[in-house]
Amino acid sequence: MKKDEEKTKEELIEELKNLRKETKKLEFFKESEHRYRMIIENIFDVVYVYRSDGIVTFVTSNVFFLAGYLPEEIMGHNITEFIYPDDIEAVLADFGESLISGKISPTYCRLVTKGGEIVYIEEIARPLLDKRGNVSQFIGIIRNITDRKLAEEALKRSERLFRSYFELPLTGIAIISPDKKWIAVNDKLCDILGYTRDELLMLTWPDITVHDDLIREMADYEKMLSGELKINNLEKRYIKKDGTIIYAKLSSTCVRKSDDSVDYIVALIEDITGRKMIEEELIKYQNHLEERVIKRTEELNLINKRLKKEIEERKIAEEKLKSSLQEKEILLKEIHHRVKNNLQIISSLLYIQSDSIHDNIALTKFKESHSQIRSIALVHEKLYQSTDLSRIDFAEYIQSLSSYLFYTYNANNRLVKLRIQADNVYLPVDKAIPCALIINELITNSLKHAFLKENKGIISIKLYEKDSKYILQFSDNGTGLPEELDIHNVNTIGLDLIINLVEQIDGILELDTNKGTSFKITFPL
C-alpha cells in the first residue's frame, strides 16, 4: 500500500515537470506570437487572411491608414466589397489563374476607402494548406501604390502630349543621342531633309551638314553637352538626299539624367530656305539701290551745281529787275503826279472860264466837267500816294470823292446825309477810273435833282464783294426818276455816260425807282 502511494507521488512529480515544460513552451509560443504580431502590426504594408470564399478572417490594424476601416469593420466581409466595382472581374480572374497555375503574381486594382476615395493597391497572396494538403485560406499583403500610379499616369500623359507635339506637321523635331545619331524623327523633318525615317536613323547629323557650317556648330554642340550652353540657337545648312542645300533654323537643348549626364538632345528644325532666298534678293536689291542712289546722287550733285549757278544768275537778274522796278515805280509815280497836276490845271482853267460864262446851262456843264476831271485827278492822286501803284483803296477813295462833291454842291448846309458801307476793296486803274466817274455822276445828279423841295435827304453808297464779283449800290430817297424812263433808251447825257462806263467794266446795271432812285452795278473782279 505504501509502495503504491510512492509511485503515485513519482507520477505526480513527473506530471508536474511535464506541466512546467508545457507551460514554458506555451509562454515561448505566446512571446513568439506577440513578436510576430508586433512585426505584422508595424510594417507599412497591410497583411490579411481570407478564406477561399473571399471572407476576410484576419487583417492588421494599419488597414485604417490605407482604407479608413477598423479591422473589425472588414473581418467577416467579402474582400470584393472593398474593391472598385470596375476592377472586381479582373481581380477574380487573377485569383482563379493563381489557383490553377499555383504561381504567385501581383494583382493591381483599386480600393474604395471608407470616405469614398480611390486608392491604387498592389496585392500579393499565397494559399495556406491544411494538414491534408488542401487550400484552406489565403494570406496576402496589400501595398499602397497610389503615388506611384499617379506618377505613372502623369508620365503617360506627358508622353502622349509629347508624342502629339512630336507628330505635329508644323516643324521638324528630332531626338538625338550624345554621339550625334538620330534616335527619333518626325514626318515633318523627313519632308524637310528628303530622307525616309529609316534612312535618317542610319545617319548622324554631321553626315548631312554643310562642311563650312559644321566647324562652328561642333563648337556650340560641345558647349551644350558640357552645360556651358543651355539652348543652342543657330542657322545652318543641310544637304538633302537629292543633293540640294537648304537653310534651317535649329534650336536644341539637352535632357539630362539624375546624375546630370546627357540622356539625349531634343532639336527643333525649321526650313527657312524661302526666307533666306528673300533676304538674299533683298540684299541684291539693296545693293542695286545703293548703286542707283550713288549714281543718282552724282546726277543730283551736277543738277545742284547747275541750279546753284542758275540761282546766282537769277539773283543777278532779280537785282537788275528790282532796280528796274524801282525805276518803273518812280516813273509811274511821276506819271500819276503829272497826270494829276495836268488834270488839276485843266480843272482850274475850267473854273476860271466859268466866271466869264453867264449862261446857266453852259455854267452847269462847265461845273459838271470840272467835277468829272476832279474825280479822275483824285484817282491819280490816290495812286501817287499809294505804295501799290497798280490799284487803290476804293473805299477810301469813295469817302474823299463824296466829301469833295458835298463841299462843291453845299450839301452839308442842305442837311443831306451820306452813308457809306464799303469793304476793303482794291480796284485797278482800268476799273477805278470808270467807277470813280460813275459815283461822281450819281452823287452829282442826286445833289442837283433829288432834293429840290426839302433840301434834305439820305444818299447811300455800298461796295462789297460777293460770289467772286464786285457789287456797287447807290441809292437816295429823293424824288426819283420818271416812271416812263427807259434805261436802254435815254436822252440825258448823265445816264448815257453811266451806261457807257458800266459797259467799260463789263458790268450789269439794275435800276429801281420805287422809292427814290437805286442803282445796282455788278462787275467782275
Minimum mean pLDDT range among 91-105, 214-228, 460-474: 91-105
Domain 43-166 shares a fold with domain 168-271: yes
Mean pLDDT in residue range 107-128: 88
Per-residue model confidence (pLDDT) at position 21? 63
Q: What angle do CA 26, 29, 31 make, to 5 degrees?
A: 110
Minimum mean pLDDT range among 65-79, 152-166, 243-257, 287-301: 152-166
CA distance 236 to 101: 61
CA distance 201 to 303: 67
Percent helix, strand and coil across the chain, each rounded to 5? 55, 25, 20
pLDDT in tens, 354-382: 666 656 666 566 566 666 666 666 655 65
Q: Do 124 and 106 touch, CB atoms closer than 8 A?
A: yes
For residue 492, is pLDDT > 60? yes
The confidence band for 335, taking pLDDT boundaries of 50, 70 and 90, is very low
CA distance 321 to 313: 12
Please name the amino acid found at residue 482: P
DSSP string covering 102-155:
-----EEEEEE-TTS-EEEEEEEEEEEE-TTS-EEEEEEEEEE-HHHHHHHHHH
Per-residue model confidence (pLDDT) at position 350? 58
Q: Do 205 and 182 touch, CB atoms closer than 8 A?
A: yes
Mean pLDDT in residue range 117-146: 83
Q: Do 271 and 180 touch, CB atoms closer than 8 A?
A: no
The confidence band for 2, taking pLDDT boundaries of 50, 70 and 90, is very low
| 96 vs 178, higher pLDDT | 178
Give the length of the chain: 525
C-alpha cell at 365: 456843264
Mean pLDDT in residue range 234-244: 91
pLDDT in tens, 311-326: 888 887 777 666 555 5
CA distance 115 to 20: 51
pLDDT in tens, 32-83: 544 545 544 555 688 888 887 889 999 888 888 888 899 899 899 998 889 9
For residue 448, is pLDDT > 60? yes
Mean pLDDT in residue range 281-310: 86
Per-residue model confidence (pLDDT) at position 257? 87
Q: What topology does CATH give the domain 43-166?
A: Beta-Lactamase (3.30.450)
Per-residue model confidence (pLDDT) at position 1? 47
Minimum mean pLDDT range among 187-196, 363-372, 444-453: 363-372
Q: What topology does CATH give the domain 390-524?
A: Heat Shock Protein 90 (3.30.565)
Q: Record the pTM.
A: 0.36
Q: Do 240 and 234 touch, CB atoms closer than 8 A?
A: no
Assigned CATH for 168-271: 3.30.450.20
Domain ranges of the chain: 1-37, 43-166, 168-271, 390-524
| 440 vs 470, higher pLDDT | 470
C-alpha cell at 173: 523635331
CA distance 195 to 390: 91
Of 447, 463, 465, whose CA–CA distance to 455 is shortest? 447
The confidence band for 241, taking pLDDT boundaries of 50, 70 and 90, is very high
pLDDT in tens, 380-438: 565 555 556 567 777 887 787 777 777 777 766 667 888 888 888 888 877 877 887 78
Computed over every residue of the chain, the mean pLDDT equals 77
The confidence band for 332, taking pLDDT boundaries of 50, 70 and 90, is very low
C-alpha cell at 282: 533683298
Phi and psi angles of residue 116, each rounded to the nearest 5 degrees, phi first: 90, 5
DSSP state of 260: S
